[in-house]
Amino acid sequence: MNSLHISKLFIFILFFVYLTFANSYADSSKDDYLWLEFTKEDINYAGSRSFFIYYGEFPFKRKAIQDFESLESFYTFGEKDKNGRDIFYRIKIEAEEDRPYIKVSSAKENWCMLLVKYKKEIGGTIYEYLAKTSFFIFSNNKYTEQGNPADMAIGPNKFLDIRIFRERINEELTYNRIRGYPIRATLLFDNHPINNQSVDIINSQGQLQSYKTDKKGNVIYNLLIANKYINGEYEYDLILATFTSAEKIYKSTYTVFFIHGANSGEKSHYFKRTSFSHNVGMGISICIISVLITLATVLVIRKKAKI
């Protein structure tokens, strides 16, 4: 092998290595999403709720968001304007230990939906990230501030929206209601349902379930959450979806917490654990009363028959 061959081989190896890294770099954002989590201090906080904004691969690979300025955040209390559209307010994103976070305050009890937008260009492709969640702000009689300034804004348009609703799942055979937290997630792009789109649901321990939307953009499943808290932090599921249009790639998430509010238009719609809706003691008591009444009737009949 002469030196020309060796150098050609060397160039080829370099090119191959470059391609591999280029691919890795391009694909490194494939599994990245933007999502929201309650801050630890939020657990016992009334009058406001605060969230960290995270970016990266949920739940364990988190990356730093370098450009805070490109983050935009909106919230709504479910109020509608005269055209029937949600009224949004802009909210300032702050930083705590280099982590962006948001604090939504309210002087009175209120249901709230929070959205965070983030745009990024990677390799000539524009990625539009959206993190969404909804929650209830409990009142705090001591809280005197009037909440965040009403900085009305036009909410984000043309985004990949995930909406959740309470759902009833029945067992296929017996039609008995399945215990747990059944919910319906609807996937919309520009308010149009997306059919046959992959939706992933991951809990904070990394357990994954994958689904495909139906014609109405719906996916119905039972929340993976077992307990309200884990290690002192709120337990939640994350719903992730990606949609590719001609110009951009849209990646959205919805953080579903244990006690949760549903989508705009359905205020204070909490998910209740259906397994708490049965009273065994009462059932057995009614059964015993029925036994005693029947027994008394039978004994009377037997006495009459003997007579």
**Closest CB to another protein among residues 1, 173:** 173
Amino acid letter for position 181:
Y
Sign of CA dihedral 278, 281, 285, 291: positive
Q: Minimum distance from CB of 169 to another protein (Å)?
A: 13
For residue 167, the minimal CB distance to another protein (Å) is 14
User: Position 255: which residue type?
Assistant: T
Q: Is the peptide bond before 59 cis (omega within 30 degrees of 0)?
A: yes
Nearest to 165 by CA among 149, 144, 187, 138: 187
CB of 283 to another protein, least distance (A): 4
Nearer to another protein, 4 or 305 (CB): 305
Looking at beta carbons only, is 60 or 175 nearer to another protein? 175
**Which CB atom, from 205 or from 294, has the smaller least distance to another protein?**
294
When the beta carbons of 146 and 170 are compared against another protein, the nearer one is 170
Identity of the residue numbered 108: K
Q: Are 48 and 105 in contact (CB under 8 A)?
A: yes
Residue 300's H or E segment, with its range, is helix 280-306
Nearest approach, Cβ of residue 98 and another protein (Å)? 48
CB of 270 to another protein, least distance (A): 15
Smaller CB separation from another protein, 30 or 302: 302
Closer CB to another protein, 189 or 271, in the complex: 271
Q: Which residues bind another protein (CB under 8 A)?
A: 170, 173-177, 277-280, 282-284, 286-291, 293-295, 298, 301-302, 305-306
Token pair 């492709």 is at which residue?
Answer: 125
Which H or E run contains 288? helix 280-306
Burial annotation 116-148 (CB, 10 A radius, 16+ → b, else e): bbbebeeeeeebbbbbbbbbbbeebeebeeebb
Q: Which is nearer to another protein, 2 or 174 (CB)?
A: 174
Which residues have C-beta within 8 Å of that of residue 98, sequence separation ≥ 6?
64
Whether 187 and 219 have beta carbons less than 8 Å apart is answered as: yes
Reduce the DSSP state of residue 114 to 3 states and report it. Answer: strand
CB of 297 to another protein, least distance (A): 8
For the CB of residue 286, give the shortest distance to another protein in the complex, in Å. 4
Alpha helices in 1-96 (DSSP H): 3-27
The Cα 17–Cα 104 span in angstroms is: 47
With beta carbons less than 8 A apart as the criterion, state whether 240 and 32 touch. Answer: no
Q: How far is the CB of 298 from another protein (least distance, A)?
A: 5
